Amino acid sequence: DHIFEKVGPEMEKLGYECKCLGGGKIDHNSKEKKIRVFGLSTGYGKADHSVTVDILKKVYTDYEITWSDDKK
C-alpha cells in the first residue's frame, strides 16, 4: 500500500481513476532473465498475478516469467 498511496494521487491528478485490486511482490533476476510474481498485500489481499505476468511479458519478452501463490 506504500506504493499505491504515493502513486494513486499523482495518477488521479492526470485524470485517471485509481483502485488497488490487490498486491504482491516481484523478484527480478536480470542476470538469469527471470521474473517471479508472488505473495500478497496485507492491506489489499492478493492481486491476480496472471494479469501482472501478462503485462510484464509485453516488456520483458526474452525473460522467463512465472507466478505463484507462495508468500516467500
What does CATH list as the number for 21-68?
3.50.20.20
Mention every residue, 6+ apart, whose C-beta is less than 8 A from residue 34.
Answer: 63, 64, 65, 66
Residue of 5, 36, 41 lying closest to 22 (CA atoms): 41
> Does the global pTM surpass 0.75?
yes
Q: Where are the domains of the chain?
A: 21-68
Q: Note whether 28 and 63 are within 8 A (CB).
A: no
Q: Looking at the predicted structure, is the pLDDT value of residue 3 above 90?
A: no
Q: What are residue 65's phi and psi, to 5 degrees?
A: -125, 125
In this predicted model, what pLDDT tens digit does every residue of 38-72 receive, in sequence order? 999 988 899 999 999 999 999 999 999 999 988 88
